[in-house]
Structure 1
Amino acid sequence: MRHHTPVALLLSMLLFTGPAAAQDQAGIPYATTIAPSGVEGLDGALADASRLRRLAEEAPVDGFGLVARALAEPRLLDDVFRSEGYWAAEATVLVDGQPATTPGLAERLAARPAGDPVPVEVRPAPGPRYTLRRIALRPATAAEAPAVAALGEPQGLSAGDPARSAPVLDAESDLIDRLRRAGHPLAAVVERDVVVDHEAQAMDVTWTLAPGPAARFAPPLIAGDSAVSRALTGRIAGRLAGQPYAPATQERTRRELMALGAFDSVRVRAAQRLDETGALPVTFTLNDRPRNAAGFNLSYETNYGPSGSVYYERRNAFGNAERLRLEATVSRLGAGGGTEDVNSRIAANLRRPGLMDGRTTLVAEVAAVRERLEAYDRDALVASALLERPFGERWVLQTGPSLETGRIGRDGNWQEFQLAGWVLGARYDGTDNLLDPRQGFRASATMTPYADVAEGGGFIRALGTLRTYYDFTRDGGSVVALRGTLGSLVGADRAVPLDKRFHAGGGGSVRGYSYQSIGPRDSRNRPDGGSSLVEGSVELRQRLRGNLGMVAFLDAGSVGQRETPSFSEVRLGAGLGVRYATAIGPVRLDVAVPLNKQEGDAGYGIYVGLGQAF
């Protein structure tokens, strides 16, 4: 459509001269006020939609520009009124006290002496709020009637509700989603018929729906310039073929491909039509992560000095999405003033996903460990080869052998050991976020039978932890987090290596106490470890403003000398913390004090990390 400017308006714009010319060049500033509508919640939406308010800092060059803005304002506000069900609403705009439609207003504004901004007032008149009267669904063809009838009533809409547009659009999206979840990938809305009856102040909505045929997935295609074996990705994606169409099934397959760890992104696109067999073609487009990565980490402990680690990671190492990680860590560089008390670990870890049915992952690791702790000294070579397999959306099961050999002792009194174990583990994660959970719970349990290869005999070490989270404000503003841990050594005696006994204290355990300081002690008041463990924590996580939050917490822990967890020597630690949210999780700073100290305990502990404490 072409728009023609009246000749009189052009002449006025070209011939106008005089004192106001300088004002024209500088523009005509104005100040907009919006009168109360009398409807709660409507005024904010009107203010947000107001173009007069939004462009106020860009003053129009002359009176005609200001009048044009004022005349366009009611049409913009109509959308707000109708979205809230006010279908007979009006908005009047006054410019310098005169309706924007007043003849000659633009010329008078141009001649107005420079000074205060021109007052502009918007007067909304919502009128009555219309209601929904009839809501109906009808099929595009008679053959599609059963699928449409199975939908029932549109969700979120009822006769008598306000005739708002957003719930109508939401209900329409939900109808299509439900048809797709029912196996109709090509479901569409043929027509949305909305009739507004101004006399009855009511609105009728009728949808004509075309569900399309129910379909199954065709064998999927793999696209993208990926170096990962097509046999592997095809085996994982190929499980989709022949399954009834469902968006959740398609998304689950996409996540399984992402879980290989070799891709920056996996995009999935379903075709817009069925193939000649009546199946739905699907294409997965893979984008590889960089093959090489390296990094380092530095930290500092008040009692033990600086620590650091470096790593190198090779992704898709051998073409089947393997991840090879080499890592070296040193800690407690300041303990004892020399190198005798330095701790170190050098490890190689290989993850090989997609084994067997494509869902099983091999996790193999070998590590050389040197530990110089208050509880024990240990030099060991540790190796394990574990198989992990997810079950459903939340569970991961783990099993496999582990071997340890080396020496352990105190004050130079070493004892050789060779242990063979078999790990049996399970994890469940029903939370909403990996590093900053707010809802749901997590559980983990590990039981490892050990056999002493050199001396004979054995024992079982079992450990289980439950974490749960409650978001009381439903927006992450106030979250209560709870953690409980139980551990037991079954069939053990004092010959069990010191590192396999239970200890408590420190970050991730009972804050405020030194690492491994809670539990039985020997005759020289050194941590001796125990045969059972019980721990608990409660945190109140409160967001203060923006990315900043605070935490108040109470930790408790006890280590007993028998297999059954004991509550007789519970140690309590309490403190406050600061959280700063980042894109990769909250940065954590906690300060804790022991509430019932043992001999030799420090007066406080400071803990820094990424992610919540648990």
Structure 2
Amino acid sequence: MRGVLPVAAIIAVVPCAVMAQEEEAAGPIAPYEAVVRPTGDSNLDRLLAAQSLLISQQTRAPTDADGVRSRMDAEPTRLRPLLDAEGFYAAQVQVVPEGQPQNGAEQPLKIEIRVETGPRYTLRHVETRGGPPVPLEPGGPARAEVVLAAQATALTAMRAAGRPLARLERQVTVDHDARAMDVAFVSTPGATANFAPAVVDGTVRVDPEVVRRVADARLAGRLYSPARTVGARADVMALGPFGSARIEEGEALDAEGRLPVTVRVQERPFRALSASVAYETNYGASVRGAWEHRNLFGGAENFRVEAEVSRLGNEFDRTNGRLSFTYRNPLPLGYDGSLLTNLSFLRERLDSYDRDAVTLSVLYERRLTDRWTVNAGPVADIGRTGPSGLRMVGYQIAGFQMQARYDSTDSALDPRRGWRLDGRLTPSYAFVQATPYLQLRASASTYIDLSGNGRSILAMRAALGSLLNARPGDVPFNQRFYAGGGGSVRGYSYQSIGPRDALNKPAGGASLLEASIEFRQRFLDSFGAVVFVDAGAVGDRSFAPTDEIRVGAGVGVRYYTAIGPVRADVAMPLIRQQGSSGFGVYLGLGHSF
């Protein structure tokens, strides 16, 4: 016997949405315990148990005797689509109780769900009409998941080839006599098309022209690609004023053969306050607060004021402070990208050096792809600096920063997979020392999901730095490299690793090398634990140091929140460093890297 399988049957891989129309019994209940008798296929047994209404509702929604009978009667019909989707079209389902359900019974009624799977049907014949063949080979089990995956792959390939209106339908025929299934795909690739200029909807106080230009930079006049729409949405969201954004594709091409697109946005509050606190042994507490306006002049301009006080708990005259003003202007002078201007006032009182300074940077930043971002522009640093607690002298530095960043991680706050790369090159000139030099910094981190469900993560990080054409003494203190502390090598005091001066204070170096490995394990819903090893070294020469490496190890706990994990780490140095403490405690928001 042959039959055309309806669409619903082939896609019934997940539990049915239709639930028995029952209410929890108000009076006596009839307790029961339902189980699936093993079929010999553990994966099928697991799917059956998940699909079973008898099993899922036995403790969640107790019912009376009539309700139990209703569930038993409905069970074969409920499990039928799952068995068909797994290729068991001739399967038989029986629900066998050890007695009759009774209201108020002291012992639960034992109910066994027996499934005789019969033979698994095979995929006999596959054909594709009207387009490239669907990558589905005959001869395997007639499972819905395989058919749907092949169909999705073929449709994705057509759309990725620039065909926005591609369609792919299927017809499934089951031959019960031959215990086989035939699948016929009907393909309508449609024409290739470019994106039309975007239409913007939903703006109230943000200039829609800004949104349109940002979206068109990724879309207008370019060959259709689903990846481009994803990138355009990310660019619009990166502007800042919007709580949501989506890009809707037209259902037909326009008169010029282009695909219409509509960018629908929803504005969020433009003004925002934020604050954070952190603590590190031998450095003290830090408090940071910020205010920002996400649409200062109506063109999605972002203005942010941030203040930070650190080293709290030390003597007052050793307290650090920072006040910064940042202005981000999208589409500067009509060019794609953003102009990022930052003005900061700094007071630093560290074990390594003292510094009072004003810094200024004007950077042109542009996203090249969904993952790559670059920026470049002039930077300046003017102030006074000197050894910790001693007289400070003036300095002036001018440079030109060039930076590239890559980010393929799945989360900014709690990454579970992907890579982050960051490289920065800054040719500079120190006027007081009359020294031209080149500062290089690079870092990389990767995150591996060991469990497949995001609960067991292996995180690794490496960083290096080099000061070219200059020795440490040829540049101001803040241009040198230091290691040690919560964002570097835990277990060691802040900036304590590396060369020291005659007063046994950190002197900074011309090269930096760091590496970390951390295993993160979540448990329960909101808690986690970590174990980690950090290593680092600072050298006098420009090349990465390989001697005097310091290693710290420790453990920590995490409490996961909507704004990121709250972190508490304890670490100890495995190799003692002169001038550093014997342990470190680190509290803060977010992972260490």
TM-score (norm 2): 0.88
CA shift for structure 1 position 124 = 1.6
2:13 paired residue number:
none
Asked if 2 retains the 8 angstrom alpha-carbon contact of 1:480 and 1:539, the reply is: yes
- Residues 601, 282 of structure 1: alpha-carbon distance in 2 compared, 3 angstrom cutoff: same
2:445 paired residue number:
467
Matched, 1:181 2:129: no
| Equivalent AA in structure 2 for residue 228 of structure 1 | V
1:367 paired residue number:
344
Asked if 1 retains the 8 angstrom alpha-carbon contact of 2:435 and 2:475, the reply is: no
Larger deviation, residues 240-249 vs 24-33: 24-33
Q: In structure 2, how many angstroms separate the alpha carbons of the residues matched to 1:333 and 1:605?
A: 16
CA shift for structure 1 position 370 = 0.7
1:294 paired residue number:
273
| Equivalent AA in structure 2 for residue 515 of structure 1 | Y
- Residues 122, 437 of structure 1: alpha-carbon distance in 2 compared, 3 angstrom cutoff: closer
- Residues 247, 53 of structure 1: alpha-carbon distance in 2 compared, 3 angstrom cutoff: same
1:354 paired residue number:
331
| Pairing 1:370-519 to 2, within 5 Å after superposition | 370-410=347-387, 411-454=389-432, 456-493=434-471, 494-519=473-498
1:562 paired residue number:
541
| Pairing 1:211-250 to 2, within 5 Å after superposition | 211-239=189-217, 240-250=219-229
Asked if 2 retains the 8 angstrom alpha-carbon contact of 1:427 and 1:443, the reply is: yes
CA shift for structure 1 position 264 = 1.2
- Residues 175, 464 of structure 1: alpha-carbon distance in 2 compared, 3 angstrom cutoff: closer
| Equivalent AA in structure 1 for residue 370 of structure 2 | E
CA shift for structure 1 position 82 = 0.9
Q: In structure 1, how many angstroms separate the alpha carbons of the residues matched to 2:421 and 2:111?
A: 61
| Equivalent AA in structure 1 for residue 302 of structure 2 | R
2:43 paired residue number:
41
- Residues 545, 160 of structure 1: alpha-carbon distance in 2 compared, 3 angstrom cutoff: farther
Q: How many residues align?
A: 565
Larger deviation, residues 502-511 vs 43-52: 43-52
CA shift for structure 1 position 376 = 1.1
Larger deviation, residues 437-446 vs 74-83: 437-446
- Residues 161, 419 of structure 1: alpha-carbon distance in 2 compared, 3 angstrom cutoff: same
1:16 paired residue number:
none
Once the two structures are superposed, residues 240-289 of structure 1 have per-residue CA deviations (whole angstroms, 9 ceiling, x without a partner) of 23322222222222222122222111111112222333322211012122
TM-score (norm 1): 0.85
Once the two structures are superposed, residues 18-43 of structure 1 have per-residue CA deviations (whole angstroms, 9 ceiling, x without a partner) of xxxxx997465544343333333222
Asked if 1 retains the 8 angstrom alpha-carbon contact of 2:449 and 2:457, the reply is: yes
| Equivalent AA in structure 2 for residue 481 of structure 1 | A
- Residues 304, 52 of structure 1: alpha-carbon distance in 2 compared, 3 angstrom cutoff: closer
Q: In structure 1, how many angstroms separate the alpha carbons of the residues matched to 2:562 and 2:382?
A: 41
Once the two structures are superposed, residues 575-607 of structure 1 have per-residue CA deviations (whole angstroms, 9 ceiling, x without a partner) of 122233333333322211112223332110011
Q: In structure 2, how many angstroms separate the alpha carbons of the residues matched to 1:599 and 1:167?
A: 62
1:540 paired residue number:
519
Partner residue of 2:555 out of 566, 576, 583: 576
Matched, 1:89 2:91: yes
Q: In structure 2, how many angstroms separate the alpha carbons of the residues matched to 1:118 and 1:597?
A: 67
Partner residue of 1:136 out of 127, 145, 157: 127
Asked if 2 retains the 8 angstrom alpha-carbon contact of 1:343 and 1:372, the reply is: yes
2:117 paired residue number:
126
Asked if 2 retains the 8 angstrom alpha-carbon contact of 1:260 and 1:354, the reply is: no
Larger deviation, residues 358-367 vs 123-132: 358-367
The gaps in structure 1 that reach 5 residues or longer are 1-22, 99-108, 140-147
1:72 paired residue number:
74
Larger deviation, residues 428-437 vs 504-513: 428-437
- Residues 560, 230 of structure 1: alpha-carbon distance in 2 compared, 3 angstrom cutoff: same
Q: In structure 1, how many angstroms separate the alpha carbons of the residues matched to 2:139 and 2:359?
A: 70
| Equivalent AA in structure 2 for residue 230 of structure 1 | P
Once the two structures are superposed, residues 195-220 of structure 1 have per-residue CA deviations (whole angstroms, 9 ceiling, x without a partner) of 21122111111122333333332222
The gaps in structure 2 that reach 5 residues or longer are 1-24
Once the two structures are superposed, residues 480-514 of structure 1 have per-residue CA deviations (whole angstroms, 9 ceiling, x without a partner) of 33322222222224242111121111111111111
Once the two structures are superposed, residues 308-327 of structure 1 have per-residue CA deviations (whole angstroms, 9 ceiling, x without a partner) of 12211011111221111111
Q: In structure 2, how many angstroms separate the alpha carbons of the residues matched to 1:534 and 1:113?
A: 71
Larger deviation, residues 297-306 vs 441-450: 297-306
| Equivalent AA in structure 2 for residue 370 of structure 1 | R
Asked if 1 retains the 8 angstrom alpha-carbon contact of 2:30 and 2:63, the reply is: yes
- Residues 357, 87 of structure 1: alpha-carbon distance in 2 compared, 3 angstrom cutoff: farther
Larger deviation, residues 282-291 vs 45-54: 45-54
Matched, 1:52 2:54: yes
Asked if 2 retains the 8 angstrom alpha-carbon contact of 1:24 and 1:62, the reply is: no
Q: Report SS of the residue matched to 1:212.
A: coil
2:6 paired residue number:
none
| Equivalent AA in structure 2 for residue 39 of structure 1 | D
Q: Report SS of the residue matched to 1:580.
A: strand
Larger deviation, residues 87-96 vs 467-476: 467-476
- Residues 186, 595 of structure 1: alpha-carbon distance in 2 compared, 3 angstrom cutoff: same
| Equivalent AA in structure 1 for residue 249 of structure 2 | A
